Amino acid sequence: MTVQEQTTARCPECAADVPFAEPPRLSELVECGECQVELEVVTVQPVTLAPAPEVEEDWGE
């Protein structure tokens, strides 16, 4: 399956299908529409998701 063909990936928290409007990029952040957990794209071929890292003290602009 190519990246272009895969339009959803499974949420690792609640197993819901998370849709993509366009092919996702590595490290991109998405939110699960079901459980609202913030997720990170950890592989793109195939697209797989993992919980996004927690915000660290020095994160920001």
Partner 1 sequence: MSEPASVAVLTSRLRVDDKRILEALERRNVAVAHVDTRTAWWPLDGAAPEWRLVLNREIGQIRAGYAARALERLGVIGVNSAAAIETCADKWHTSLALRAAGLPTPRTALAATPEAALSALAAIGYPAVVKPLVGSWGRLVTTVPDPDLARTVLEYVAALPGPQAHIVYVQEYVRKPGRDIRVVVVGGEVLGAVYRYSADWRTNVARGARTERCPLTDRIIELATTAATAVGADLAGVDLVEDETGRLYVLEVNSGVEFAGFEQAYDGSVDVAGRIVDHVLTRLT
Interacting residues toward partner 1 by CB under 8 A:
25-29, 40-41, 52-53, 56-61
Burial per residue of 5-40, b for 16 or more beta-carbon CB atoms within 10 angstroms, e otherwise: ebeebebebeeeebeeeeebeeebebebeeeebebb
The nearer residue to partner 1, 15 or 46, going by C-beta atoms, is: 46
Least separation in angstroms between CB 16 and partner 1: 21
Yes or no: say if 2 and 24 are a contact pair by the CB < 8 Å rule.
Answer: no
The nearer residue to partner 1, 5 or 57, going by C-beta atoms, is: 57
The nearer residue to partner 1, 15 or 54, going by C-beta atoms, is: 54
